[in-house]
Structure 1
Amino acid sequence: MIWNLGSINIDKFYEVPHLPAAGETLAAVSYGFGLGGKGANMSVAAARGAARVSHIGAVGPEGAWTIERLLEYGVDTPHIAQLDVPTGHANIVIEQGGENNIVLFQGANIELSEAIIGAALTEASPRDFLLMQNETNGQEYAATTAQALGLRVVYAAAPFEAAAIEQLLGRIDLLVLNEVEATQLETATGQRVDALGIPDVVVTLGAKGCRWLSNTGEKRFDAYPAEAVDTTGAGDTFTGYLVAGLDRGMNMDAAIDLALKAGALMVARRGTADVIPDLKEIQDHFGS
């Protein structure tokens, strides 16, 4: 079982000829909206990876449809609070090559109480997973509670903030971050990421695959070929599938391989949570 303390956003997408420069006004070629937020993306990915996942989060009055959408995608939703503050949202600008920039409004995602988080985790069992990202409040409380209950803590270090990771050192079992974030963390701490006392660290490398660092050494994995049209949500898809694989009893090698396959399909699609591939699509595309 995966308990995901994560953000829920309403994503708004604007396709543009190129990413705008400072002071530039640029007409969008197309517009769309859908379910997003790193937390929601990872919950959907984990559910589509055949894991049972319960989302811990919050939305505002206009965000009730996001809860319904998560439920449709197989995510348990009893621990999503409806608060009297706006739902988080993200304005996502995507250029034709698939690169993007994002303006994020946190809203209800940072209004979670310890009571909401604690009520969810009291239902967890030892060896369950607690998955978190840096888009909600309550991370230290959740990690401390999860550790006391015997859960395995996975932290996806985005949006990156070195202090948020340092605050959780000693409580993280698996850290997932990208190459730039890994460099920033090493600069901030003065230590290599594999010297921080975290049992497993996965560093994603985009089109170059990923690195897995553990107390047994380092192993590299190549990415699967893909024609990227939109990289939004690809890292979240990777992480959700990685934790789903581990929760289903896969070893790290197999879980990483599954996550890379999911990421390769995801970058070929436009959108976020609504277009994350399911396990059957991955099996059909790559073979069982």
Structure 2
Amino acid sequence: MKVLNIGSMNLDHVYNVDHIILPGETQATTGLNLFLGGKGMNQSIALAKAGVEVYHGGMIGKDGYAFIDACKEYGVHYDYIREAEGNTGHTIIQIDKNAQNSILLFAGTNDMLTESYVDEVIADFEEGDILLLQNEVNRLPYMVDKAYEKGMQIALNPSPFNEKLNDVDMSKISYFLMNEVEGEQITGFSEPEKIIDRVVELYPEAKIVLTLGNDGAIYADKNVRYHQPIFKVQAVDTTAAGDTFTGYFLAGIIEGMEIPEILKMSAKASSIAVTRQGAVPSIPYREEVLASLKED
């Protein structure tokens, strides 16, 4: 089973601030770091560090070849990354003294996927392979339709949640991987159990992973539900926490692990990631996660 992730690649400009800036306010930052990020790239590297063979697809500009270098470094297949005219996507991220973040996103070349490109890439994958998607690239409805026609499993992280998702046939999604904010945007409910109930009602064949910040995470399908608490740590940057969880969760699914063990491994990986600055550099390797689990 192979994983294809057609996802975003963003150059992250990370500013350390006392508090998330208010309208009309000017605030001096206490630090600036430049990192490779984008939900797509974060999740591909999380999958690779978790031990999965993953193929990343998407568009970069001439300023984005550091992503190719990162794929080489972390063991992500980069054959499907193409160059397009324009600037690579980038973000401006504020991280406050409580490790909370605020993200301003410029799509750049992430929004330059074409249907012919999607056709070319998906042609190389088979029934049962996994297509992982986020909402930081264009052509999402087309990718879902083409992958579904081929019999691929589709894992969707509906982030950021916006009107583009209205055109996606959600009944074709195999795995929803989302936080409670996205869950509320999809269902209209803010309580975790009601979010789960509604998603199961709407899409009874799907599996749902709902991350809840300090309240942990819930896995649910039409038959079972499991809750996983967090591992308490001193967080410094939560930027890639959800992406790390996604990568490790899918790695466990591919390996056929039991759901409670997958959730535990994913929560531990996320707890390590939030103790480090940056997105890609913060994601731990599988060996480190397993070693930390043995210590608990």
After TM superposition, the score normalised by the length of structure 2 is: 0.92
Cα separation, 1, equivalents of 2:200 and 2:9:
31
Check the 8 A contact 2:226/2:260 in 1, yes or no: no
Q: Partners of 1:161 and 1:213 in 2: how far apart?
A: 24
Give the alignment of 1:202-217 within 5 angstroms: 202-217=209-224
Equivalent residue for 1:270?
277
Distance 2:111 2:173 in 1: 21
Deviation at 1:251, TM superposition (A): 3.2
Residue 248 of structure 2 is aligned to residue 249 of structure 1: no
Cα distance, 1:162 vs structure 2: 6.1
How far, CA to CA, are the matches of 2:187 and 2:12 in structure 1? 31
1:44 and 1:225 mapped to 2: Cα distance?
24
Equivalent residue for 1:194? 200
> Could you list the per-position Cα deviations for residues 102-122 of structure 1 after superposition, in whole angstroms to 9, with x for gaps in the alignment?
111000001011222222211
Superposition deviation, residue 44 in structure 1: 0.3
Q: Is the 8 A contact 2:60 2:109 kept in 1?
A: yes
Give the CA deviation at 1:92.
0.6
Q: Kindly provide the amino acid, as one letter, of the partner of residue 198 in structure 2.
A: R
Aligned equivalent of 2:229, options 205, 212, 222: 222
Residue in 1 that maps onto 2:37: 36
The Cα of 1:232 is off from its aligned counterpart by: 0.6
Alignment of 1:1-288 (within 5 A): 1-161=2-162, 164=165, 167-187=168-188, 192-197=198-203, 198-287=205-294
- Structure 1 runs of 4+ aligned residues shifted over 3 Å read none
Q: Deviations over 1:174-221 (max 9, x none)?
A: 101111211221129x98122111521111001211111211043211
Find the aligned partners of 2:55 and 2:146 in 1 and give their Cα distance. Answer: 16
Q: Distance in 2 between matches of 1:214 and 1:122?
A: 30
**Retained in 2: the 8 A contact 1:47–1:73?**
yes
Amino acid at match of 1:159: P
Q: Secondary structure in 1 aligned to 2:171?
A: coil
* Structure 1: unaligned runs, 5 residues or longer: none
The answer (yes or no) to whether the contact 1:157–1:165 under 8 Å persists in 2 is no
Conserved in 2, the CA contact under 8 Å of 1:162 and 1:184? no
Structure 1 residues 268-277 or 100-109, which shifts more? 268-277
Whether the aligned pair in 1 keeps the contact of 2:16 and 2:96 (CA below 8 Å) is yes
Number of aligned positions between the proteins: 287
Q: Displacement of 1:254 after TM fit?
A: 2.4
Aligned-pair identity (%): 33
Alignment check: 8 A CA contact 2:60 2:89 kept: yes
Distance in 2, matches of 1:121 and 1:45, equals: 21
More divergent stretch after superposition (242-251 vs 103-112)? 242-251
Task: Provide, for residues 110-161 of structure 1, a one-character-per-residue CA deviation record: whole Å limited to 9, x for no partner.
Answer: 1011222222211112211100000001111111111122211000010013
For residues 127 and 253 of structure 1, the distance between their equivalents in structure 2, rounded to whole angstroms, comes to 23
List per-residue Cα deviations over 1:24-50 (Å, max 9, x = no partner).
111111111011000000000000000
Q: Which amino acid in structure 1 is aligned with residue 58 of structure 2?
A: G
CA shift, 1:255, in A, is: 2.1
Kept after mapping to 1: 8 A contact 2:274/2:282: no
Q: Is the 8 A contact 1:15 1:95 kept in 2?
A: yes
Higher relative contact order (CA 8 A, sep 6+): 1
Asked whether the equivalents of residues 48 and 278 of structure 1 are also in contact (C-alpha less than 8 Å), the reply is yes
Q: CA, structure 1 residues 5+248, in 2 after alignment: closer, same or farther (shift >3 Å)? A: same
Distance 1:254 1:124 in 2: 28
CA distance in 1, matches of 2:22, 2:13: 19
TM-score by length of 1: 0.95
Aligned AA (2:237): D
Q: CA offsets, 1:208-254, max 9 Å, x none? A: 11111211043211112221111111111111111122122223332
Q: Which amino acid aligns with 1:236?
A: D
> What SS does the corresponding residue of 1:170 show, helix, strand or coil?
helix
Contact 2:141 2:167 (C-alpha < 8 Å) held by counterparts:
no
